[in-house]
């Protein structure tokens, strides 16, 4: 049986997913969790506190999957797996990623966590690309700044994906996020890298 704080948190996530965070009040969350407003605000004084916990959990969930050393043997599979993981996390938490800009404008304290995560994410991809260059899987003739730009593009794209893939576009013509990220990387691959991508 869930303790009351966890029950409140899980109820909030479910309601945010179903209704969107803007359409859910603290009273709605308390009712769904079978508790009072007073008990809810004891654990989470503001909606921002619930969103902060969700944000932290999302970031921890991503890096929990990639907590091992990156080597020449696993770098390509880790890279591709990270793209699928990013897509999966965003699909499961669309209420957060569809409105991430609005959320960070409304709750500035969340921006600090976002910037720390982006820095960690950039380091993660820079390490992978460095290992793949050394292994002859990615192109050695490209400059360090070219790879830095690739890392930045990946980082930005993963955060703006649901702002640019809106109902204004025909979904049948859209690539998935993981397919798009893979396409971004392809021009940086050597012939060896292209072959390893085909067999991945």
Identify any residues that bridge with 99 across adjacent strands, giving them in sequence order. Answer: none
Q: What is the CATH number of the domain that holds 113?
A: 1.10.357.10
Q: Are residue 9 and residue 57 in the same domain, yes or no? A: no
Of 48, 53, 63, whose CA–CA distance to 104 is shortest?
A: 48
Q: Measured on CA atoms in the order 98, 102, 106, 107, is the torsion positive or negative? A: positive
Identify any residues that bridge with 138 across adjacent strands, giving them in sequence order. Answer: 189
Q: Are residue 56 and residue 139 in the same domain, yes or no? A: yes
pLDDT of residue 169: 52
The gap from C-alpha 37 to its chain's centroid, in whole angstroms, comes to 31
Q: What is the CATH number of the domain that holds 35?
A: 1.10.10.60
Q: Are residue 162 and residue 104 in the same domain, yes or no? A: yes
Under a CB-based contact definition with an 8 Å cutoff, are residues 16 and 96 in contact? yes
For residue 79, with 0-12 CB atoms within 10 Å meaning exposed, 13-18 middle and 19 or more buried, which class applies? Answer: buried
Q: Are residue 37 and residue 53 in the same domain, yes or no? A: no
- Range of 37's domain? 4-43
pLDDT of residue 20: 83
Q: Are residue 124 and residue 162 in the same domain, yes or no? A: yes
Per residue, the 3-state secondary structure of the chain, as one string, reads CCCHHHHHHHHHHHHHHHHCHHHCCHHHHHHHHCCCHHHHHHHCCCHHHHHHHHHHHHHHHHHHHCCCCCCCCCHHHHHHHHHHHHHHHHHHCHHHHCCHHHHHHHCCHHHHHHHHHHHHHHHHHHHHHHHHHHCCCECCCCCHHHHHHHHHHHHHHHHHHHHHCCCCCCHHHCCCHHHHHHHHHHHHECHHHHHHHHCC
pLDDT mean for each 10 residues of the chain (200 residues) = 85 90 91 93 92 89 83 94 90 81 81 85 94 96 96 88 58 76 95 86
What gap in Å lies between CA 158 and CA 162, rounded to an integer?
A: 8
pLDDT of residue 106: 83
Q: Helix 75-92 to helix 191-198 angle, to the nearest 10 degrees? A: 50
pTM of the model: 0.84
Q: Count the domains in the chain.
A: 2
Q: Are residue 36 and residue 59 in the same domain, yes or no? A: no
pLDDT of residue 193: 93
Q: Are residue 63 and residue 10 in the same domain, yes or no? A: no
């Amino acid at each position: 049986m869930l303790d009351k704080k966890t029950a409140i948190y899980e109820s909030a996530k479910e309601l945010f997913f179903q209704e969107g965070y803007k359409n859910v009040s603290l009273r709605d969350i308390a009712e769904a969790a079978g508790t009072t407003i007073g008990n809810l605000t004891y654990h989470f004084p503001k909606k921002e506190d619930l969103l902060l916990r969700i944000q932290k959990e999302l970031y921890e969930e991503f890096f929990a999957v990639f907590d091992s050393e990156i080597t020449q043997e696993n770098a390509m599979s880790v890279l591709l797996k990270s793209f699928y993981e990013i897509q999966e996390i965003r699909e499961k938490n669309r209420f957060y990623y569809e409105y991430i800009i609005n959320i960070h404008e409304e709750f500035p304290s969340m921006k600090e966590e976002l910037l720390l995560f982006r820095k960690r994410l950039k380091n993660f991809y820079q390490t992978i690309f460095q290992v793949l260059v050394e292994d002859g899987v990615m192109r050695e003739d490209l400059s360090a700044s070219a790879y830095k730009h690739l890392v930045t593009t990946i980082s930005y794209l993963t955060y703006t994906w649901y702002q640019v893939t809106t109902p204004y576009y025909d979904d049948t013509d859209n690539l998935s996020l993981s397919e798009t990220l893979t396409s971004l990387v392809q021009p940086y691959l050597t012939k060896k890298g292209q072959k390893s991508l085909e067999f991945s």
